[in-house]
Amino acid sequence: MNLKYNILWFEDDPLVVNEEIGPEIRAFLDELGFEYVCNHKEDGTDLSNVTNDKKYDLIITDLNLGETFGNEIIDHIRDSNIFTEILLYSANEAKLSKIIDESDKLIERVSFAVGLRNLPDKIKKIIELSIKKVQDVTNMRGLVIASAIDLEIMMEELIKDFFRLVGNQAEDQKREEVLKSIYDNKIKRDKEYLEEIMKLDHSNIDSLLEKGILTSSNIYDAIMTALKIVDQGLSSQLHRLKDKEEKENVGIKRRNIKNLKDQLQLYHSDIIYLRNTLAHVKEEINDQGIPFLKNQRVNGDIILFDDNKYIEIRKNFLNYSKIMTEIKAILN
């Protein structure tokens, strides 16, 4: 399971998925720090290819798609060794009872709901169950590191796109300023790093291990500088404009840039620090049986991994991914 919660939903009425129940499930997953992704099918055509084409976290099926469709999908899931939660629902309680009575066809991961009224709560309970099955420190460690890598790749591609743009001489000069800023910041960081190393007690292994140069910091600096340059260009443009509406549009863009830069201020603590901590600490269990990671570095920070922490981490990654997408649009 990653930051996308993938649902395969068989329902012949699009309103149920798109307007009546789907938005509620989207909001629920959003609160849990997941992106709602739904593949809606109005019938069971090509069942085998549909279910095998993608890894789903939940398969939801309306039994009114056909007299034998419930049995067909259970047989297919069982025979294909697909380890996915399945929810069968119908307004016809007798139809559900018939499938339940055929116990030889049932598999452990099948649940049932009678009527649309009970469906949202049932879906939410199964979602919470499926999350808890994989929500532990080990899985979160993998998710954080993988998601941090994805963000770094987005940031690298974003800054590459910025330098590939063809512009006039003034714009090219500004891009040179960004490159010089990256270089200067790198030299400055390395110099400060060497000065700090020289001050360290070389006999203190914890202090030596704590220091490191993070390459993602250089990319972060480059993006912040690029945003600053774009904002400067907009500021110059604003002074030349006469049309009130055009000036307002430029003002909106400048406010968006400031907002994005403000949101990026916590990137180091939210993403980089968390990633590095997870990569270098050991899981422990407290008196309540809750896993936690104790930072073995000098500051001795403790990160308690409960449900709220998991949600916070997932939301942060989704948020920064959206921020990078918005910045990409601005720089282009």
Q: Quote the percentage of the chain above a pLDDT of 90.
A: 23
Mean pLDDT score of the chain = 80
* Exposure class string for 245-265: b at 16+ Cβ within 10 A, else e: eeeeebeebbeebeebbebbe
Integer Rg of the chain from CA:
26
List pLDDT tens digits, range 77-101.
Answer: 767 666 788 888 887 777 667 666 6
List pLDDT tens digits, range 189-220.
Answer: 778 777 776 776 655 545 544 554 345 777 78
| Domain-wise residue ranges, the chain | 4-134, 137-331
Q: Place domain 4-134 in its CATH homologous superfamily.
A: Response regulator (3.40.50.2300)
Q: Are 114 and 284 in contact (CB under 8 A)?
A: no
Q: Are 36 and 5 in contact (CB under 8 A)?
A: yes
Q: Which helix (H) or strand (E) holds 7?
A: strand 4-10
Backbone angles phi, psi at 11, to 5 degrees: -160, 125
The lowest-confidence range among 85-89, 158-162, 179-183, 203-207 is 203-207
List pLDDT tens digits, range 266-297.
Answer: 998 888 888 877 776 667 777 777 666 666 55
pTM: 0.70
CA-CA distances (angstroms) from residue 60 to 70, 83, 110, 111, 156?
11, 14, 10, 10, 38
Structure tokens of 145?
């590191």
DSSP secondary-structure letter at 44?
A: -
List pLDDT tens digits, range 236-266.
Answer: 888 888 888 888 998 999 999 999 999 999 9
